[in-house]
């Protein structure tokens, strides 16, 4: 992207401010941000070059809560109803012996159970050099429960990894 996505402007606020507020509106008792964002409750990113799994493992080192709702900073079209559906879906996932709930094949946002064994697995995966240190492998390990993701939901899950994708996202809002 060439810039810190969290600081990009979105409807009069930064993306980080927007997403933080969204998680609070969805009923999260505690919201933690991975990275050096001193204006928010945050944790130091212990694995800054290891993508989303590095951020999750950094949070795992600080957070005691076992159930998490995880949202990418660059998915501003996600809404409160979607996040609440993920939280409810996690209950169904747990009943079926699964530890993560997501929409269709989209890796984020997700609700997950971060028990001690998963926290240890994340740390070990990040210390290794293989390709197993990813959200994909984390979700496979937890076993996925999926919620329906029709075209409308998929459109709301879009993120932005390039300036062109960011401009398209701005135009669609």
Cα torsion angle, 137, 96, 75, 59, sign: negative
What pLDDT is attached to residue 37?
Answer: 92
One digit per residue, the tens of pLDDT, for the chain of length 173 reads 678 899 999 999 999 999 999 999 999 999 999 988 999 999 998 888 888 899 999 999 889 999 999 999 999 999 999 999 999 999 999 999 999 999 999 999 999 999 999 999 998 889 876 667 789 999 999 999 999 999 999 999 998 889 999 898 888 87
| Residue carrying structure tokens 């501003």 | 76
Paired tokens of 158: 């879009």
pLDDT at 133: 79
Domain regions of the chain by residue span: 5-172
Compute the chain's Rg from CA coordinates: 15
Residue 3: its pLDDT value, please?
A: 80
Q: What is the pTM of this model?
A: 0.91
- At 140 the pLDDT is 94
CATH 1.10.3450.40 fits 5-172, yes or no: no
20: left (phi over 0), alpha (psi -120 to 50) or beta: alpha
Phi, psi of 93, deg, nearest 5: -60, -45
Please provide residue 127's backbone torsions phi and psi, each rounded to the nearest 5 degrees.
-80, -20
| CA separation for the pair 44, 117 (Å, rounded) | 22
pLDDT of residue 49: 81
């Amino acid at each position: 992207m060439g810039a810190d996505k969290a600081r990009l402007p979105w409807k009069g606020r930064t993306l980080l401010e927007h997403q933080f507020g969204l998680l609070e509106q969805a009923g999260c008792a505690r919201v933690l941000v991975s990275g050096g964002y001193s204006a928010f409750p945050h944790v130091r990113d212990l694995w800054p070059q290891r993508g989303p799994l590095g951020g999750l493992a950094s949070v795992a080192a600080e957070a005691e809560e076992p159930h998490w709702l995880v949202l990418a900073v660059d998915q501003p079209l996600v809404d409160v109803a979607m996040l609440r559906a993920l939280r409810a879906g996690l209950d169904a996932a747990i009943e079926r012996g699964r530890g993560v709930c997501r929409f269709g094949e989209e890796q984020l946002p997700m609700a997950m159970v971060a028990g001690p064994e998963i926290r240890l697995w994340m740390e070990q995966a990040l210390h290794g050099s293989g390709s197993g240190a990813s959200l994909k492998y984390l979700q496979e390990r937890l076993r996925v429960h999926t919620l329906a993701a029709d075209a409308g939901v998929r459109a709301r899950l879009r993120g932005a990894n390039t300036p062109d994708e960011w401009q398209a996202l701005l135009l669609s809002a």
